[in-house]
Amino acid sequence: MGLSHLAAVVASAAIALAFVAVRGFLCERGDGWLSAVGLGFVVIGSTLYATLPGMEFSVVAAHATGADLVATQDALVSWFVPVLLGGSLLFTVGTVLFAVAVTRTATFGLLATAVVGGALVVFGLARLVPVGVVQFYVQSAAALLALLPLAVAIGAGRRGAPTR
């Protein structure tokens, strides 16, 4: 159980790094402030999201020590829910700003731009829905639909760039 929580933290950091790369890509294509502001929201939202598995470790520790699991869970709710919703809302604002920046600056075709932009919005909105299926499957699919074409475009641009 602990390894899955650690993996969630690492994944949250990887998502933040992916958006740093996307910001650079969009900046090279003329985006000014949208992705810059969006990046701040995405990084703060991802950081708050990464704290959630740490909170869940307290329940694991309570179980291991024989403490009252219900009392531990009840004490966590007053922290967990606001952090989840606050971080998810900030992340969603960031992904929406990135979606607008992609539609304004990316060099994809019309359909691909709509798919990437829409997937960015769904990626953000999926964090607002604290249901396992949405968190694990919808969010992951939206992240792939949004970030994979951007990664390919970033890689293609790097191959065509002159070496120093």
The answer to the question of residue 158 being in a domain is: no
Dihedral through CA 115, CA 116, CA 119, CA 120, nearest 10?
-150
The answer to the question of residue 163 being in a domain is: no
Contact 147, 115 (CB under 8 A): no
pLDDT of residue 136: 87
The answer to the question of residue 89 being in a domain is: yes
**Is 131 in a helix, a strand, or coil?**
coil
pLDDT of residue 7: 84
The answer to the question of residue 159 being in a domain is: no
The answer to the question of residue 72 being in a domain is: yes
The string of pLDDT tens digits covering residues 134-147 is 988 999 999 999 99
CA distance 147 to 136: 16
Smallest CA-to-CA distance from 102 within 29, 161, 39, 42 is with 29
pLDDT of residue 6: 81
**Domain count across the chain:** 1
CA distance 7 to 19: 18
pLDDT of residue 164: 47
pLDDT of residue 160: 53
pLDDT of residue 9: 84
Instruction: Kindly give the parts of the chain with pLDDT less than 50.
Output: 162-164
CA distance 107 to 95: 18
Domain of 128, in residue numbers: 2-151
The answer to the question of residue 50 being in a domain is: yes
